[in-house]
Amino acid sequence: MNDKFSVPEAELARQREYTELVRTVLSSRFPDKPPKAFVHTYGCQGNVADGERLQGILAEMGYEFTDSPEKADLVLYNTCAIREHAEDRVFGNAGALKPIKKLKPDMIIALCGCMTQQASVAERLKRSFPFVDIVFGTHVSYKLPEFIYCALCTGKRVIDVTDSEGNIVEGLPIKRDGTFKAWVPIMYGCNNFCSYCIVPYVRGRERSRDFDTVLDEVRELVQRGYKEITLLGQNVNSYNKDLPEEKRFPALLKAISEIDGDFIVRFMTSHPRDCTKELLDVMASSDKIAKHLHLPFQSGNDRVLKEMNRHYDRKKYLELIDYAYSLMPELSVTSDVIVGFPGETYEEFRDTLSLIEKVKYTSLFTFIFSPRPGTKAYDMYDPVPREEKGRWFKELTDLQESIARKRTAAMKGRSYRVLVEGRSKADGVLSARTEGNVIIEFKGDESLIGSFVTVEVTEPKTWVVYGEYKG
């Protein structure tokens, strides 16, 4: 256990006492049927994993869940701060709760997560959103029982956005959203301070969960029948980076791939600076490790990468990709990319396009630069107008679309082992995902959901391919 970041056991015990107190209060206030909670998580899978712990705590306190805020006795928004747009959505959705709260004054409204961790946002919520009862940040989310107790019993607003280096809390109950796909955080926080990014400010310092604790969690999930495990961290390649090699990420991935059972393991996100050939060797060594590498490059231009504080250059990135393809010719590579970083010129942006052409990504998450208060890039000179950036963005997405179309066209006639994830929109059609993260739809029986099947691709489109069930 990483003692520096662990929360004292006495504090966790105190929260368990609050859980019991809330349980008692709720059972007397809701004698006929249990209260309902609506929990919505924005942002990355790491936040989703946090949300599953918050749901776990709520379930222990006696809440059941609903998918509509109107029917809820407690609404919890677990927010994201990565781009301005993400924050605007939360402000909008929180504002929409005001009339509901008017009709149901006893409803508790709580906001937490990366957005509320920022003092300026907490201040705005305090001032302009008086109907929000609880606001808490990422470092104190294990105190949810105490916060709910306060709101239920004192009626006072609770605002706790204490900043800290972060913590690791083990042993919290987890109510997972999926029954065959699971998120497993292996580390929290980030030390990279990419100049555009808010995450290090709202998530604290990088810290890794204990090797054996992670291994045990994955083993248990596999035993319970989970088919896809995704290991999560902002930079999984620096997992346990201060410990000997046998405890670092390649070793963890290898150990997980050696667990008995029918499952695949994925991981995200890999930072190119810390991605090693050894990691790619481990990937290539096991059929249990999905042949999918999410390796964000952000920009194809060295000057921009330097300004972004990414600590790798185009050459190093392409070397890693070449090595990865040489080991795993079928590898699917995806990435994140930012268009219009402050001061980026069109010529520099073209380096991003040429890198995309070289790597031939399966898909890309594409973002227009969004200034985040408090980050270094927020104050950088940014002369290119938004409309111009919009045109570059379109150029990029058009290019990626043509690459994706060619990639999926090459899948025609081939068979893939896929995990069936659910129903598609069309009647009787199922939606599945290949190891490489391509969606395949095919006609099949719903009993197949949650299992691995083989599907032959018959009709590839750009972002989805259609296929035929082969067993």
Site residues for ligand F3S per CB under 6 A: 43-44, 46-47, 80-82, 114, 198-199, 202-203
Q: Which is nearer to ligand SF4, 192 or 335 (CB)?
A: 192
- For residue 79, the minimal CB distance to ligand F3S (Å) is 7
CA dist., res. 358 & res. 412, Å (int): 22
In the complex, which residue's CB is closest to ligand SAH? 336
Q: Where would I find the beta strands (DSSP E) of 273-355?
A: 292-294, 332-339
Query: Interaction with ligand SF4 in 168-207: which residues (CB under 6 A)?
Result: 190, 192-194, 197, 199-200
Taking the least distance from each CB to ligand F3S, the nearer of 20 and 84 is 84
Q: Rule CB under 6 A: which of 399-458 touch ligand SF4?
A: none
Minimum gap (Å) between residue 16 Cβ and ligand SF4: 32
The rounded distance, in Å, linking the Cα atoms of 376 and 116 is 20
Query: Is the CB of residue 22 less than 8 Å from the CB of residue 57?
Result: no
Binding partner of residue 236 among ligand SF4, ligand SAH, ligand F3S, none, CB cut-off 5 to 8 Å per kind:
none
Residues 6+ apart with CB under 8 A from 225: 179, 180, 450
Q: Residue length, the chain?
A: 471
Residue 110 interacts with which of ligand SAH, ligand SF4, ligand F3S, none, CB < 5 to 8 Å by class: none
Closest contact distance (angstroms) between CB of 55 and ligand SAH is 23
Distance (Å, whole) CA 20 – CA 470: 51
Residue pair 411/441 in contact (Cβ under 8 Å)? The answer is no
* Minimum distance of ligand F3S from residue 46's CB (angstroms): 5
Nearest distance from C-beta of residue 408 to ligand F3S, angstroms: 27
Say how many residues touch ligand SF4, by CB under 6 A. Answer: 10
Q: Which is nearer to ligand SF4, 79 or 234 (CB)?
A: 234
228 closest CA partner among 195, 191, 181? 181
Question: Which residues, 6+ apart, have CB-to-CB distance to 413 below 8 Å?
Answer: 456, 457
Picked from ligand SAH, ligand SF4, ligand F3S, none, the partner binding residue 338 (CB below 5 to 8 A depending on kind) is ligand SAH
What values do phi and psi take at 457, rounded to 5?
A: -75, 125
Q: Which residues pair with 136 in a beta bridge?
A: 112, 160
Closest among 370, 372, 371, 368 to 120, alpha carbons compared: 372
The one among 235, 299, 352, 362 contacting ligand SF4 by CB under 6 A = 235
- Tell me which residue has its CB nearest to ligand F3S: 43
Q: Omega of the bond prior to 269 within 30 degrees of 0, cis?
A: yes
Q: Is the dihedral of CA 37, 38, 43, 45 positive or negative?
A: positive
List residues near ligand SAH by CB under 6 A: 82-83, 196-197, 234-235, 269, 271, 296, 298, 336, 338, 367, 369-370, 372
Amino acid in the structure at residue 31: P
For residue 154, the minimal CB distance to ligand SAH (Å) is: 37
Decide whether 11 or 336 has the Cβ nearer to ligand SAH: 336
**300 in Cβ contact with 352 (< 8 Å):** yes
Q: Pick what 46 binds: ligand SAH, ligand F3S, ligand SF4, none; C-beta below 5 to 8 Å, kind-dependent.
A: ligand F3S
Please report whether residue 275 would count as binding ligand SF4 according to CB under 6 A: no
Minimum CB distance to ligand F3S smaller for 109 or for 121: 121
429-434/439-443 β-pairing:
antiparallel
Q: Which does 367 bind (CB under 5 to 8 A by kind): ligand SAH, ligand F3S, ligand SF4, none?
A: ligand SAH
3-state helix, strand, coil in the chain (%, to 5): 40, 20, 35
Strand partners, 79: 113
Task: Give residues in contact with ligand SF4 (CB under 6 A).
Answer: 190, 192-194, 197, 199-200, 234-235, 271
